[in-house]
Amino acid sequence: MSLEKVTLKQAQERAAADVPPRPIRMIIWHHFEVPTARDYEGIVTMHSVRRYHVETRGWGDVGYNWLFAPDGDIYAGRSLTSGDGAHCIGHNDDSVGLGMCLNGDEEDLALFPEMQRNVLALTVTLCEVFGLTAEALYFHRDFGSKTCPGVLLDRAQYRAALTAELRTPRQEGVPPTVNDDPTSDIRR
Ligand SMILES: [Zn+2]
């Protein structure tokens, strides 16, 4: 069952063990948009996100592989080895989806340093697990017309931070294919 709250260390260990047979080429960041960080009410909020994905969208589980709270708490979402994700049309089979409880159009991730730190830390781990460079970090908006994870977030800044953390990159990132299909972010 997904949506178990885990420590960063537990998340990193789980990420290292949850390796599917298919290739993973990118890490894609999302914001929930709704609920915003201001609306966050603990695990109840995370369950509301999953309920939306499962009951309204008809998916088998929450779409994101990992979910992050404004206070830095980490929730394990859909396991990569349980099947494809459901967070970015066109890339649900070759990416890891990280969802942040944030409206990045109005709330800068930097306002939530614990969440920022843990999202980056787990992204570093995922890059190491799958042999990716910082170029493998994408934002949902790279694949559609949405702003996700919000206009206040600068991908180049986070790629630079990732590069600094990844001391020995093992392979080049794979460029994305452009996809203009509708996206899967939270609406309510
Ligand atoms: Zn998104």
Is the peptide bond preceding residue 113 cis, with omega within 30 degrees of 0? Answer: no
In a domain, 8, yes or no: no
AA letter at 42 = G
In a domain, 60, yes or no: yes
In a domain, 70, yes or no: yes
In a domain, 6, yes or no: no
Greatest pairwise CA separation for the chain in angstroms: 43
* Number of structural domains the chain divides into: 1
In a domain, 27, yes or no: yes
Helix (H/G/I), strand (E/B), else coil: 44: helix
In a domain, 11, yes or no: no
In a domain, 188, yes or no: no
Q: Can you give the CATH number for the domain in which 85 is found?
A: 3.40.80.10
- 167 CA distance to ligand 1 middle (Å): 28
Picking from 78, 188, 76, 96, the residue whose alpha carbon sits closest to that of residue 140 is 96
pLDDT for the residue 123? 98
pLDDT for the residue 182? 45
CA 62 – CA 75 distance, rounded (Å): 11
For residue range 30-62, list pLDDT tens digits in order: 999 999 999 999 999 999 999 999 999 999 899
In a domain, 182, yes or no: no
Low-confidence ranges of the chain (pLDDT < 70): 1, 168-188
- 25 CA distance to ligand 1 middle (Å): 17
- 170 CA distance to ligand 1 middle (Å): 27
- 99 CA distance to ligand 1 middle (Å): 7
- 13 CA distance to ligand 1 middle (Å): 25
Residue-number span of the structural domain to which 116 is assigned: 20-165
pLDDT for the residue 76? 97
